[in-house]
Structure 1
């Protein structure tokens, strides 16, 4: 794999800007679960295995109306986990590479954990929203607000949230995370839309870029598609993925390892 690392390092060194495209696998080296398959999800959350509840069933906005303690038990636990998690050293490597380029670095991610912002990145497009922001379930018009002061107490045995649950500061109705869930027609997208508009402008200004894609699987291919689209003209794609590393038509470099291992190895080669 030495040749692949050399080619990847050349692509990164020669580009004028860095685009980071990240899926759930990016956070694994920080200790975050990637929810890959039901068995992987249940290993991360044994109480849901006992209940027979799958990730796609829990990540459903209907639970906030039908069983809000169950819904906030799941999302409250994730909110607490993400707040406590320190981004791994690979985030620092990516930020350093970007800071050394004229066009800088921009992030496109399906992750809702806020890890890139915590690691010091400022230009981040969160295509599926953020768990660190909330919206009103009753659509009172308050919009989207930060969850900075929200505390969710979750029973670790039942994975249900204890009252009081997060509420809207305007009307007092139940709040929910500003995250695009499965079958979600109520998600408020304007915060993510502003980020995506800024991302589009950044891409227009930076044609000579390299795409480093990390931990983006095929199950939800949003990130992989963006990475392939952004690198289509040049083939300057570095795909880092231990499970699904294939690069179509040889348009890029494949590194079938985890994010932290790949980034630390590459950092020794990147000029």
Structure 2
């Protein structure tokens, strides 16, 4: 399975598609003229940490209270029947929350549920468990103490890959990514990839899905706006994630009952 931001939309999560989509989710940033790409930049943690943690602190809280939609349950049922791996650019931890073992989820951009030292003092990446950020909903700025590094006491940041980020500590994400590559190589000849909500603006997930199925064309692409499959190799479904997955599961059940 390969998943992008569109996977979380049916759970009520914003996909940040374009400035207007982002500003609908976060109106205060419209007044500041800040786009997602400009906020998701590590420079703000040094220059304006209250702004940076206002954005990421709100997202951390949002992801914690979000319930994965019904499509995740469909994928879990499939994973109980056949060997399955997940490759995702999402940093929200929704697959793990839906019951997927962390060892089977490769997060190519890291996870907001882990933190790293901004100064790079040598402190290993640590879980964000118990970290709460007080965010002013009017200004979207963090109030009060900001997350700190347990090693040096300096400012912490999420252990995720941001735009223009040369300091991401990928030590937490790397083992799963390496294991994913090895697993795909072993199973490539009989691999079927279901790709969900992965667009072309940040094409990491699409490329992974297309490379994994280049020889077989065994790709199912679920995307409301951009369902096209390169060279026509694969199946395209211009549907929301939950609807498409439930329809596929119903079709599978009908076929198995014959």
Could you state the TM-score of these two structures normalised by the residue count of structure 1? 0.91
SS of equivalent residue, structure 1 residue 224: helix
SS of equivalent residue, structure 1 residue 245: coil
Partner of 2:68: 87
Tell whether 2:207 aligns with 1:225: yes
Unaligned runs of 5+ in 1: 1-19
**Equivalences for 1:109-128 in 2 at 5 Å?**
109-122=88-101, 123-128=104-109
Aligned-pair RMSD on alpha carbons? 0.8
SS of equivalent residue, structure 2 residue 85: strand
SS of equivalent residue, structure 1 residue 178: strand
Partner of 1:158: 139
Partner of 2:170: 189
Distance 1:169 1:149 in 2: 13
Partner of 1:10: none
Contact 1:95–1:105 under 8 Å retained in 2: no
Of 232, 240, 246, which residue of structure 2 is paired with 1:264? Answer: 246
Of 209, 216, 221, which residue of structure 2 is paired with 1:234? Answer: 216
CA-CA distance at 1:203 after TM superposition: 1.4
Partner of 2:78: 97
Distance 1:204 1:138 in 2: 37
Tell whether 2:32 aligns with 1:51: yes
SS of equivalent residue, structure 1 residue 249: helix
CA-CA distance at 1:149 after TM superposition: 1.3
Could you state the TM-score of these two structures normalised by the residue count of structure 2? 0.95
Distance 2:207 2:129 in 1: 32
Higher relative contact order (CA 8 A, sep 6+): 1
CA-CA distance at 1:258 after TM superposition: 0.7
Tell whether 2:230 aligns with 1:251: no
Contact 1:237–1:252 under 8 Å retained in 2: yes
Distance 1:145 1:194 in 2: 15
Partner of 1:69: 50
Deviates more, 1:63-72 or 1:187-196: 187-196
Distance 1:209 1:99 in 2: 16
